[in-house]
């Protein structure tokens, strides 16, 4: 992996955060510019189930993948993914329940103290509280970030797309949905941003709901 400048990583981080806010902001109607006032976004409730620690360590040597993990996934013990014996139950809950309780990544609490903490913090911090999000947002987010990582790193792609397809199947994805999610990943990485009026056409109502909020 070539050396990646801080500027490039900062731009990538901004893109990730903007996308997270678009997908599953704690207060969806609040503009991103006002997030300093206490908005935040859902932290993915568990990491991708990569059971081989050495492979995961290698992936995390890629600064872009590390960035995705830092910004989108919980960085505590769940970084290795859920325990295998919990995985099935977790998937079923995520698929069948309307809501999924997630911790929140937030830039700051409101008020001057929160602002100072935000300025001093290296990474977004995670709230102790959990907030219920629509499960479709979390399902969509999990697969979206998994696919995005697959585009970044060839070894991840070569080793893990079977895991991504298994995970997607468990979360109720169809082939058309997968095509839409793949198209959306490329759309974002081609330098575009998601919005209600984005020109990308999707095949499935699930994609329109998740990416266009329609």
Partner 1 sequence: MARKIRFGLNMPEKQNIRTMEELKQYFDLKAVLEYYFNNKLTEWLNDRGYASIAEQLNALDRDKDDFEENVCKIFGAQYKAESAGAVTAEDVEALVDRKEEIRKYTDDVNILENAGNVAFNQAELNALVKDDSSKTVYLLGKEFTLTAKYKNKTYVGLNNSTVKFAEVPEVTLEELGIKLTGVKILGDTIKVAKEAVKPKAKKRRISSGYKVSAAFDFLLNDEQRAQSEKLFNCIEEGLGSYEFNPDIKSDKLLNVIENSDLKGYFKNYLDRMA
Regarding 8 and contact with partner 1 (CB under 8 A), the answer is yes
Count the site residues for partner 1 by CB under 8 A. 43
Query: Of these, 157, 187, 198, 204, which contacts partner 1 (CB under 8 A)?
Result: 157
Give φ, ψ of 131 to 5 degrees: -120, 140
* Angle formed at CA 55 by CA 58 and CA 68, multiple of 5 degrees: 60
To the nearest whole angstrom, how small is the minimum distance from the Cβ of residue 159 to partner 1?
A: 8
Angle between helices 135-152 and 175-189 (to 10 degrees): 60
Considering the complex, what minimum distance in angstroms separates the CB of residue 46 from partner 1? Answer: 11
Which residues 15-44 are close enough to bind partner 1 by CB under 8 A?
none
Nearer to partner 1, 108 or 138 (CB): 138
d(CA 19, CA 24) in angstroms, rounded, equals 9
DSSP letter assigned to residue 106 = E
Residue given tokens 């329109």 in the structure block: 208
Nearest to 143 by CA among 58, 206, 76: 206
Contact 200, 183 (CB under 8 A): yes
**Nearest distance in Å: CB 29, partner 1:** 27
Question: Using CB under 8 A as the criterion, what x/- string covers residues 47-86 for binding partner 1?
Answer: --xxxx-----------x----------------x--x--
Does 187 bind partner 1 (CB under 8 A)? Our answer is no
| Min CB(190)–partner 1 separation in Å | 6
Looking at the Cβ atoms of 132 and 201, the one nearer to partner 1 is 201
The span from the CA of 143 to the CA of 179, in Å, is: 12
Closest contact distance (angstroms) between CB of 63 and partner 1 is 10
Cβ proximity of 79 and 60 under 8 Å: no
Burial 66-94 (b: 16+ CB within 10 A, else e): ebbbbbbbbbeeeeebbeeeebeebbeeb
Which window, 36-44, 114-122, 146-154, 204-212, contacts partner 1 (CB under 8 A)?
Answer: 146-154
Q: Is 182 in the site for partner 1 (CB under 8 A)?
A: yes
Residues found near partner 1 in the complex (CB under 8 A): 4, 8, 11-12, 49-52, 64, 81, 84, 87-88, 91, 147, 150-152, 154, 157-158, 160-170, 173, 175, 178-179, 182-183, 185-186, 189-191
């Amino acid at each position: 992996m070539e050396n990646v400048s801080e500027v490039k990583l900062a731009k990538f981080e901004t893109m990730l955060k903007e996308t997270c806010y678009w997908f599953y902001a704690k207060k969806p109607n609040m503009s991103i510019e006002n997030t300093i006032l206490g908005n935040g976004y859902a932290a993915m409730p568990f990491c991708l189930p990569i059971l081989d620690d050495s492979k995961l360590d290698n992936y995390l040597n890629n600064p872009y993948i590390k960035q995705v993990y830092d910004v989108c996934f919980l960085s505590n013990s769940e970084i290795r993914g859920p325990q295998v014996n919990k995985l099935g139950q977790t998937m079923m809950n995520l698929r069948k329940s309307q809501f999924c309780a997630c911790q929140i990544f937030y830039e700051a609490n409101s008020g001057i103290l929160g602002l100072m903490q935000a300025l001093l913090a290296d990474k977004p911090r995670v709230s102790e509280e959990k907030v219920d999000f629509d499960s479709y947002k979390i399902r969509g987010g999990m697969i979206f970030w998994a696919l995005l990582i697959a585009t970044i790193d060839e070894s991840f792609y070569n080793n893990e797309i079977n895991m991504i397809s298994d995970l997607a199947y468990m979360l109720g994805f169809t082939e058309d949905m997968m095509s839409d999610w793949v198209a959306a990943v490329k759309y974002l990485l081609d330098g575009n941003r998601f919005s209600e009026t984005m020109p990308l056409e999707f095949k499935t109502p699930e994609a329109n709901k998740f990416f266009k909020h329609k």
